[in-house]
Structure 1
Amino acid sequence: MSWNYAYLIVAIIFEVLATTALKETHGFTRLVPSLATVVGYALAFYFLSLTLRSMPVGIVYALWCGAGIILITAIGWIWFRQSLDLPAVVGMGFIMLGVGVINLFSKTLVH
């Protein structure tokens, strides 16, 4: 695995942690989740910027968003007990398929 993918994975993890904490800020009225949100997003964008030094912005953003959507949805379902209906599950499947197609077949990625 190249450093680009390692940076991207770290960026995704920080973005997911920050978004999860964002729900707990209650409109930025709670200090610890608010700090976790700000620091998490700052680190996410820092590591995303490292990825963008050598990978195309459109592809990186698609991978970052797709993975983030899937992970945040899973956290919402497991942690916050948010329900998913069939169209949501099918949509998530399409997102995962799209991320897979980009990773497996796109010639625009640096492998």
Structure 2
Amino acid sequence: MFDDDGKINPSIRFPALAAHIWFCEAKSPYTGDADSPLLGIHNGIAYYLLFNGILGDKTVNGGNILTTPILKSLPPHDGPKIIYGEGCRFGAMRLKKEQIMFKHIPYDIKAR
């Protein structure tokens, strides 16, 4: 999953990372189609992954940064959200208001 520098291996694609994150968070196998940034909802928490152009932007880092337009484009969830991405442009107050816990790729992804 990771290279020697701790970065995500460039050959990793969205479905593999989605399955890994889902298993780490929900402790169950991922059964989604890996065609949406919303991985699923577990115990009332929605899990999202912004990675590898899942939002249709195939540019480098395209859609991997949590911004207002990206948040608006995500499938909605009226409750707590955990969003994995490469960066976040929201401050602590905005994250709290939106009920978001942001987790940074690759640092907040468990290797085991």
The TM-score normalised by the length of structure 1 is: 0.27
Q: Name the larger-Rg structure.
A: 1
Which structure's residues are more often helix, by fraction? Answer: 1
The TM-score normalised by the length of structure 2 is: 0.26
